[in-house]
Amino acid sequence: MVTTELEGVDLQQNTSSDGAEEVVPLLRKQALLFSRLEGFAQRQRMLVVQEDTRPLLALLAERQKLSLELARVSQELAPVRENWNSFRESLTVMERDEAAELLASIRESLSRVIESDEVDARRLGVRKQMVRQSMQNSQVKGVAAGAYQAARIPNGRRVDEAQ
């Protein structure tokens, strides 16, 4: 006989409403956090497009805090996730429907965040390439200017200038 505990609640020994009283609010919180993460992803997109680095870094720091909170909630839900089918069957129809809606919302938000992040990563990768190319062009111009300077004769004129 295996028992699964979630913050001290023995899900196997409690009625469905007792387990749902612990799990459904956590699913609500997780859905809310994913919704906020999706909002951050939209703001991130705007900042990436605008090439506004300082606010982007601040947003990424906030996003990291949100990700840590999501990880904490996910960890709290881990025991239920491991035994989801049996736990789900113990829920009332209303609880089951709400949990299904919350999980669908979480999956959809996560999918949109991943897609948005992939677009941003590609955009930043292109920008990185452009900066790299610009720096290489600057270095080539610097080498050319240095060579041009070295081609001057001792009196400071270029070799091709008339005397």
Q: Residue 73: is its pLDDT beyond 90?
A: yes
What distance in Å separates the CA atoms of residue 79 and residue 64, rounded to the nearest whole number? Answer: 24
- Top mean pLDDT of 1-10, 16-25, 153-162 is at 16-25
Q: Residues, the chain, total?
A: 163
Q: Residue 71: is its pLDDT beyond 90?
A: yes
Domain of residue 84, residue span: 5-137
Amino acid identity of residue 119, one-letter, is: V
In a domain, 161, yes or no: no
Contacts of 108 (CB under 8 A, 6+ apart): none
Q: 28 or 8, which is more confident?
A: 28
The CATH number for 120's domain is 1.20.58
Q: 13 or 24, which is more confident?
A: 24
Q: What percent of the chain has pLDDT over 70?
A: 72
Take residue 146 and report the two structure tokens written for it.
């240095």
Element (H, E) at 120: helix 93-150
Question: Structurally, how many domains does the chain consist of?
Answer: 1
In a domain, 17, yes or no: yes
